[in-house]
Structure 1
Amino acid sequence: MFVRIGNTPRDYDWGSRTAIAELLGSVPSGAPEAELWLGAHPGSPSAILDSAETDGARDLATWIDREPRLALGETAAAGEKPHLPYLMKVLAADRPLSLQAHPSSGQAGEGFARENARGLPLDSPERNYKDAFHKPELIYALSETFDALSGYRDPAVSARVLDALAEGSDPEGLRLVGLLTGRLRHAPAGEALRDSTAWLLGADPDVRSLVEVVTGAAARRGTAGDPEVASAADTVAMLAQAFPGDPGIVLALLLNRIALRRGEVLYLPAGNIHAYLHGLGIELMAASDNVLRGGLTSKRVDVPELLAVLDFSPFTAKPLEPESPAPGLETYRPDVPDFALDVVQLDGAVSSVTVRLPGAATAVCTEGSLEFRGASHAVRLSRGEAMFVTPDERELVISGSGTVFIAVPNR
């Protein structure tokens, strides 16, 4: 069964006013358009465009609750609340988002139960855990570049970059930078990164002064010279404009900065501290609201809980490599069962492809016009249109010319 769906973009203040509309061929609202949600998440479930097809259900969440076996197939296990395990979004960041991390399944389950036992309402500002699910995610770059911060890098590299950035500062500035670089150098990498993060987010008055020193040093340094130092200066300048005085400006220099090219994917597992900086993309995540913030925000930062969730193992951020099961089809599979992303791009050279459905699918067309044939139904999807596909269609034979993104469970 093919069910056409749609939604209204979320108007978070960091969103672009034009990027989503230009991608999908819609009329801009005039307000920021940050995220278009395609799924059944209760925060903004997709509208069903023809409710006659779903016995009057007007949104995807309501229909799944009423008809879990039809909508989700085997994923709607007896005795469990029906749950579409993923959420797909079109995301357009015009300025940086907050630094954040997401818990593992075990951490989410324990945290949710703990806060329930405390009697915290789900909408309490003291809540870290809104549900019992983890929230890994990936982003597929649609803009020419998509800039992000992802995970901790080697602390020795960060210390060297900070020292170089601060060259020419006055003695007090050098002392303040030394307070951080000393921490980065004094212990094994994971311990040094944990200690440095705790200090930067711990409200020490020296940190406030350090942010001013680093911001001023970046303005003087500019973006010439050593590429790593130039990148650090650019990161500081961008973040200082959006979040002046925030300790996350300095914390960002301990992280990998990555610039995805169009068509590349970044995967963000549990415990990865990250922030999207700028760009347009398709985001796919486990359907959860569990976010631990780490700066670059006016919202609550629970430092002890954040430190308990973070993975302090340094690494080099790289794009996730796709599988290529057939011409015109690439599949991105993270290390979780909740979701995988199929990207179909057809042109004159490749006119059709078959996509297996391991469960309920959600699809959005961003270019051209494509025909989809399943086991019992067929539909045409054009630029800007989206649909939900029930598992009983088994597979999709896709033909035509265009691009479509398809979210499925990872089985």
Structure 2
Amino acid sequence: MGADAIQTNGHDQAKLTGGEEIQRLRCFVKNYEWGKLGPDSLVARLQEANLGGKVDAAVPHAEFWMGTHESGPSHVGFGSGQNEGSDNNKCMVTLKSWVLDNPDSLGSGVVGKWGCDLPFLFKVLSVTKALSIQAHPNKALAEKLHREEPLLYRDNNHKPEIALAVTPFQALCGFVSLKELKEVITNVPEITELVGSKAAGQIFKVNEHDEDVRVKSVVRLIFTQLMSASSSETKQVVSRMKIRLISETKHRELSDKEKLVLKLEEQYTGDIGVISAFFFNYVKLNPGEALYLDANEPHAYISGDCVECMAASDNVVRAGLTPKHRDVQTLCSMLTYKLGYPEILKGFPLTPYVTRYLPPFDEFEVDHCDLPRGKSTVFPAVPGPSVYLVIEGEGKLQTGSTQLLVSQGDVLFVPAHNEIHVTGESDVMKLYRAGVSSRFFQTL
């Protein structure tokens, strides 16, 4: 190590030649009931490493937040204490406060577009029980919802997002094709029970050659009728569907979707989300594959661990598979009703060890780095901020004459205009970087 190197073991900062500092972040964890328990939860393992101390194995650990959003702000520490009860807590400021005091860390282009704040929110999710059937509003709707119901919709921003599988990851996403939807209406009689034969029959009056707007209007009609069914009738119909499917296992193999629906029924008995799952694509991601979700697209994560990045928002409109507030009318009115299987991103290589995922949104991109022992790679300097997360292994991070030792659970805020060299010092070091989309800077 050079004379200016800092070997850190907690929340020390690395002094950079440009006067800015790499900041080690202490991050926020959400304990939603759908999260994984104990050591099975990647979020729990990251929390232990990031904050110190043991987590309660009986408590679900669902989301690990990295960013400036007020619903789960990251903090910058000044000192070497790591434990929850250490005096280091007296020296903590939020990352947002630090950024406000150091606007140059964001770069002029980011400040000019989004102000003095991080435009993206970075997360890790550990899912063992299905999340709600939901969608995120576009900017105009987010502003309207926040203005009218600020306690439910906490900010006025849109929330496009990407989910990158760390382990095998399952989700429902977007409406199935018209052909599949006709098969669903034919083979799932309980849907017709809830929406009525007149509404259900409309699907057979349209085909792939019809105008897109006509097809979407029919899908919207049927889906809205379904999601608006009364609670008592829904419980009875879902129960009958469960009995039918279990009975049919005696003489045929159920489809993957039917097996999923039975699993959802165990988790959310009598919920309308159970039967509406038939309307959505059942997506299974392998590690390294990603799913991106634009505004107004329905989805529900089912199981697995993922890295997630999104515009800095916490706005969610829910309508099923949840004990939380449901806004069925808003959800059904906001959806695009686009049909067909979603695009799966596999990323593209930047170096032999770094893969980039670049969804069509200005606010963010995600890089994934798998680095074997003794191998090195470079993250070029960019004109915006980055957040680096180590989820496995350990290594060395260098910028200029400064080096930091990093390991699982370390989260680093790297200001704009810093080239980062990373070297692996374990069998494999797994690192993720979130930053503002490189496409955004090309337009400046």
Give the TM-score normalised by the residue count of structure 1.
Answer: 0.86
Is 1:304 matched up with 2:329? yes
The alpha-carbon deviation at position 325 of structure 1 amounts to: 1.9
Gaps of at least 5 residues in structure 2 are 1-20, 81-87, 207-213, 439-444
Is 1:250 matched up with 2:250? no
Q: Using the aligned pairs only, state the percent identity.
A: 28
Q: How many residues align?
A: 390
CA contact under 8 A between 1:103 and 1:135: conserved in structure 2? yes
Is 1:71 matched up with 2:97? no
CA contact under 8 A between 1:162 and 1:177: conserved in structure 2? no
The alpha-carbon deviation at position 178 of structure 1 amounts to: 7.1
Q: Distance in 1 between matches of 2:135 and 2:282?
A: 16
2:93 corresponds in structure 1 to 58
2:263 corresponds in structure 1 to 238
Give the AA of the match of 2:203: L
The alpha-carbon deviation at position 177 of structure 1 amounts to: 8.3
The alpha-carbon deviation at position 25 of structure 1 amounts to: 6.6
Is 1:408 matched up with 2:435? yes
Q: Distance in 2 between matches of 1:152 and 1:64?
A: 40
CA contact under 8 A between 2:234 and 2:271: conserved in structure 1? no
Once the two structures are superposed, residues 102-132 of structure 1 have per-residue CA deviations (whole angstroms, 9 ceiling, x without a partner) of 112233234434x2xxxx5x32xxx4x3222
Q: Secondary structure at the match of 1:196?
A: helix
Map 1:158-307; keep pairs closer than 5 Å: 158-161=181-184, 163-164=186-187, 179=197, 181-187=200-206, 188-204=214-230, 207-222=234-249, 230-307=255-332
Gaps of at least 5 residues in structure 1 are 167-171
Choose which of 130, 142, 145 in structure 1 pairs with 2:154: 130
Give the AA of the match of 2:63: E
1:102 corresponds in structure 2 to 136
2:412 corresponds in structure 1 to 387
Q: Secondary structure at the match of 1:237?
A: helix
The alpha-carbon deviation at position 244 of structure 1 amounts to: 0.9
CA contact under 8 A between 2:120 and 2:364: conserved in structure 1? yes
Q: Secondary structure at the match of 1:41?
A: coil
Choose which of 395, 406, 409 in structure 2 pairs with 1:370: 395
Q: Distance in 2 between matches of 1:198 and 1:173?
A: 12
1:169 corresponds in structure 2 to none
The alpha-carbon deviation at position 13 of structure 1 amounts to: 0.7
CA contact under 8 A between 1:101 and 1:273: conserved in structure 2? yes
Is 1:46 matched up with 2:74? yes
Bigger shift: 399-408 or 152-161? 152-161
2:29 corresponds in structure 1 to 9
Once the two structures are superposed, residues 204-246 of structure 1 have per-residue CA deviations (whole angstroms, 9 ceiling, x without a partner) of 46544432332222333349956xx511211211211111111
RMSD, aligned α-carbons: 2.9
2:420 corresponds in structure 1 to 396
Q: Secondary structure at the match of 1:9?
A: strand
Q: Distance in 1 between matches of 2:188 and 2:352?
A: 47
